[in-house]
Amino acid sequence: MDKDTLVFDSVLQTFIPLNRLTPEAQRALLEHTEIIPYEPGCPVFREGDRDNHACYLLEGDLDLCCDGQVVSRLRGGTPEAAHALAQLQPRQLTAIPKTAVRILRLERQHLASALDLDEARQTGDNSVQVNDITCEIAMDWMTRMLQSGVFSRLPVANLQRIFAQFESIGVAAGDLVVSQGHPGDYYYVVQEGRFEVLRHLSGSHQSVRLATLKPGEPFGEEALISGGLRNASVKALTGGKLMRLGKPDFIELIKKPIVPTITLDAARDWVSSGAIWLDARYPDEYAAGAVPGSMNVPLHVVRSYAASLDRDKRYLIYCDTGIESSIVTFSLAELGFEAAYLEGGLKRYPLDRIRSILSKDTGLKIADAAASRDTAAAIGVSAGLDLAEDAEVQASLLRAKLSQAQLELQDALRLKQEAEAAREAAERETEERLKAERSWRLLGEAARANALVAEAQTTRQEIEEAKGKAESEAQSIRREAEEHARRLKAEIQVRVRVKKQELASAAAANNEELARIQRLQEEAEVHIRPERQRLAGEAAEVEARVQEARRYREEVETALSTAEQGNQGILQTARERVAAEIERANTLLANAETMKREVEAAKGVAEAEAQRVRLQEEERINVLKREVEERLRDRFRRGPRYVRQDIQVTLAPSVSRRVIPFAATVARRKSKDWTRSMRPNPRSWRVSTNSKRKSR
């Protein structure tokens, strides 16, 4: 594999913590590195794999996935690719290349050795401790938190979501963050400052300090896990900051992965592989009945008792309901133990059922222990009977036993002190070893978490800026809308005024037009009134002439009657004259038809001139016209004197203004002709008279 020194010198300066090494240490590390190409879709490592490699992305695009979902996407040469890929073991993510990539891979132990040697070389101390390196690597609240037993066991995807959901709040000295007896709503991690945990004693006004919290230490989990009330209060000793996580997010992202439940069948498998039962109930409840082989570790002493537990063992915790056991499980997980609690507790699985199931595998051991206890009890009883035979012997034996007990007590105290000293030394050694292991394991993750926090803060700032911009735009839009509404209102008011003026002008014009029409009607009435009077005079004259014609007609009828009484010749002559008169009457009828046409023509002219006035009378005139025609036919059969009367009565005054004079003239002319024709000839009258006389 080609390892060009110049290429590595430039590449190593971009990776953390490789860029902290001196050039000599970097060149020494080159002997233990390799560059491996991967094709798209070929996994670099998978979720759950265990290896001892630190992998860095040199070039190309790569996705980090969890449960088939993309958690983050990295590109070689960018600041996001400066850390080793998914450092926790076993691997919490799967690395899948999206394009052709190249991976720089080296052994973790070689990297740790290089860092140790380089640190020793720089400080001149050959006995470099890993804990010293940890102290140099930003032991802030985030690093302390990630080094805890809970967060070091969480998947990377959960850590990313936790940091995204974290909410930072500021507190002042003396502020009460959590109140005893209140329901739990948030999980807290100290970011800055110091806080004290207080418990109020029932029946008094005093509070006892249980602990002091520093940056990186969490609190408030018990009420969230159990669903009960806060069992203590937390008060700020100094001003500071807290990161808090809501209850739903805490349950989903922390409790479920860290506090697993287990069924009785699965617990049986754990016990067969060496797991130990822990009873989280009170001692009196434990004495009343417990799972065979279990240890009593009540909730309030679990942290102090945890130092005596074997970290290589797995633990099964139970209680009556599962609430206390879930809290104990979380506390042990915080301390780095692998534990699970019995789901539903003894209410779901009674002791008899647990004993019957466990006795199938461990019954022999339980029986042997019971037998040994019975044997010891029997020996004690028999010895007591023998000693009772002699009081002095019994007293001396008791004094000897007392002296021996005192010696044994002193030896026990000494052994206890030695054991405690050894335990403390072992705890310190174990703690230092665990801190070293966690520091190296969480080194990259802490930096990644810092980057995530910075990204979350940047995102929050962007959201705030976007919110401010949106609010500014909303205000601008609101102002524009208000200005537009004002303009529309002013425009509408102007239009309303203009419309009112137009309506007022139209109303004035209509009033003027109405006044003009009324004036024209009055003028027409003035002109029509003399014409009506003149027509009335002419009608009277026509009537007089009709009366005269009627008188002449009566004379004719009288003459005809006299003639009929005469001889036959005179009668024949009279008949011929009557026939002639009938013929003349037919002629007069034809003349009357002609006169009707002339009257209709005159009426059309009159209607054209009086069109505006006649609109309302038009339908009535059409009806009256038909009546006039019928009456004319009837009147002309009887005589022309009825024509003028019908025209004058039937036609409207506006029409008769021109029609009546013309009709009156025609009627006078026809009347004169008819009268003249009907007047008897004196000569023929005399001839007829003479002939009558001669016949006599």
Q: Is the pLDDT of residue 316 over 90?
A: yes
Write out pLDDT tens, residues 202-235.
666 778 888 889 998 999 998 998 888 898 999 9
- Contact by Cβ (8 Å): 100, 57: no
Give domain 5-127's CATH number out of 1.10.357.10, 2.60.120.10, 2.160.10.10, 3.40.640.10.
2.60.120.10
The CATH code belonging to domain 260-379 is 3.40.250.10
Provide DSSP, 499-540: HHHHHHHHHHHHHHHHHHHHHHHHHHHHHHHHHHHHHHHHHH
Write out pLDDT tens, residues 351-399.
888 888 776 655 434 433 343 333 333 323 333 333 333 454 455 446 5
User: Using CA atoms, how far apart are residues 231 and 331, in angstroms rounded to an integer?
Assistant: 15
Mean pLDDT of 502-520: 82
Give domain 166-256's CATH number out of 2.60.40.1180, 3.40.50.300, 2.40.37.10, 2.60.120.10.
2.60.120.10
Write out pLDDT tens, residues 159-183.
888 988 999 999 999 999 999 999 9
- Contact by Cβ (8 Å): 682, 555: no
- Rounded to two decimals, the pTM is 0.38
> What is the structure's pLDDT at 493?
85
> What is the structure's pLDDT at 388?
36
Q: CA angle, 15 as apex, 50 and 115 as ends, to 5°?
A: 75
Write out pLDDT tens, residues 37-78.
999 999 999 988 888 888 999 999 999 998 888 888 899 888
Strand order in the sheet with 69-75: 69-75, 61-66, 94-97
Q: In this structure, which amino acid lies at residue 694?
A: K
User: Using CA atoms, how far apart are residues 521 and 654, in angstroms rounded to an integer?
Assistant: 11
Pick from 190-194, 401-405, 611-615: least confident: 401-405
Write out pLDDT tens, residues 275-315.
999 999 988 888 888 998 899 988 878 887 888 888 889 99
User: Using CA atoms, how far apart are residues 172 and 638, in angstroms rounded to an integer?
Assistant: 130
Mean pLDDT of 252-260: 90
Q: Is the pLDDT of residue 14 over 60?
A: yes
Write out pLDDT tens, residues 531-575.
777 777 877 877 787 787 778 778 777 776 776 666 566 667 767
DSSP three-state, residue 41: coil
Q: Provide the percentage of residues in the chain whose pLDDT is more than 70.
A: 69
Mean pLDDT of 458-487: 81
pLDDT-derived band at 438 (thresholds 50, 70, 90) equals low
User: Using CA atoms, how far apart are residues 448 and 74, in angstroms rounded to an integer?
Assistant: 12
Domain 166-256 and domain 260-379, same fold? Reply is no
Q: How far apart are the first and last CA of the chain?
A: 182
DSSP three-state, residue 278: strand
pLDDT-derived band at 155 (thresholds 50, 70, 90) equals confident
User: Using CA atoms, how far apart are residues 603 and 104, in angstroms rounded to an integer?
Assistant: 120
Helices (H), ranges, 313-390 = 323-334, 345-348, 351-387
Q: Three-state SS string across 50-63, please?
A: CCCEEEEEEECEEE
Show me where the domains of the chain are located: 5-127, 166-256, 260-379, 534-695
User: Using CA atoms, how far apart are residues 648 and 624, in angstroms rounded to an integer?
Assistant: 12
> What is the structure's pLDDT at 685?
46
Q: Is the pLDDT of residue 642 over 80?
A: no
- Largest distance between two CA atoms of the chain: 221
Better-predicted residue by pLDDT, 92 or 399: 92
Which letter does DSSP use for residue 183 in this model?
B
Mean pLDDT of 598-622: 71
**Whole-Å CA distances, 347 to 16, 166, 208:** 53, 37, 34
Give the count of alpha carbons within 13 A of 125, CB side only: 9
- Tokens 């439940």, residue located: 261
Average pLDDT along the chain: 75
> What is the structure's pLDDT at 146?
80
Mean pLDDT of 2-23: 70
Q: Kindly state the tokens that stand for 690.
A: 């003479």
Provide DSSP, 218-239: EE-HHHHHHSSB-SSEEEESS-
Q: Is the pLDDT of residue 98 over 80?
A: yes
Pick from 140-144, 163-167, 469-473: least confident: 140-144
- Length of the chain measured in residues: 696
Q: Is the pLDDT of residue 508 over 70?
A: yes
| Nearest alpha-carbon partner for 93 in 4, 14, 190, 158 | 158
> What is the structure's pLDDT at 97?
95
> What is the structure's pLDDT at 376?
33
